[in-house]
């Protein structure tokens, strides 16, 4: 996940935590980007070539159609893998956030549990919830 645009307006204590999280998720996000880029080019190429071979040639070449079909299938499989990796990255981020919340010393346990339940109930808002937690932790510690 690219948080560069958010880091500009983010306090340093928050950006350090998000950088730690990025280091943990970096291998999966790199893999996800590669797969996404490959499928981005393969799928339109395969569709375009299949259409041109089927509809705009006089003699239908079966072998190239099968090859481009296979390329399209690989591209769709890569897109599916990107979705799976994205879900794994989200789970890794949420588990990191929960571990970090467990390390919060002296914070009100009721408030801490509220942050944890928010993470579990709405993982799409996890970055926002974690930022709120970090801010609350900073206020609680009196820095």
90: which residues sit within 8 A by CB, 6+ positions away?
123, 126
Helices (H), 56-142: 62-102, 109-121, 126-141
What the block records as the tokens of 6 is 């958010």
DSSP letter at 7?
A: H
Distance, CA of 101 to CA of 115 (rounded, Å): 8
More confidently predicted of 14 and 36: 36
User: Which of 3-17, 43-57, 77-91 shows the lowest mean pLDDT across its residues?
Assistant: 3-17
Confidence of residue 8 (pLDDT cuts 50, 70, 90): low
For 104, left (φ over 0), alpha (ψ -120 to 50), or beta?
beta
Residue 5, pLDDT score: 55
Structure confidence by residue, pLDDT tens digits, 79-126: 999 999 999 999 999 999 999 998 887 788 888 889 999 988 988 888
What is the overall mean pLDDT for the chain?
88
- 78, pLDDT greater than 70: yes
Whether pTM exceeds 0.75: yes
Kindly give, in sequence order, each residue whose CB lies less than 8 Å from that of residue 81, ignoring residues fewer than 6 positions away. 35
Query: What's the Cα-to-Cα distance from 138 to each of 2, 12, 82, 93, 105, rounded to whole Å?
Result: 24, 12, 36, 20, 11
Closest to 53 in 3D by CA, of 38, 72, 79: 72
């Amino acid at each position: 996940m690219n948080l560069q645009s958010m880091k500009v307006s983010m306090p340093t204590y928050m950006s350090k935590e998000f950088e730690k999280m990025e280091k943990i998720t970096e291998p999966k996000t790199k893999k996800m980007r590669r797969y996404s880029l490959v499928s981005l080019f393969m799928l339109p190429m395969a569709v375009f070539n299949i259409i041109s071979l089927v509809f705009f040639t006089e003699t239908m070449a079966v072998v190239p159609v099968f090859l481009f079909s296979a390329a399209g299938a690989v591209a769709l499989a890569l897109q599916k893998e990107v979705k799976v990796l994205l879900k794994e990255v989200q789970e890794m981020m949420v588990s990191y956030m929960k571990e970090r919340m467990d390390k919060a010393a002296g914070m009100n346990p009721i408030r801490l549990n509220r942050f944890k339940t928010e993470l579990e109930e709405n993982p799409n808002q996890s970055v926002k919830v974690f930022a709120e937690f970090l801010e609350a932790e900073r206020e609680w510690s009196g820095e």
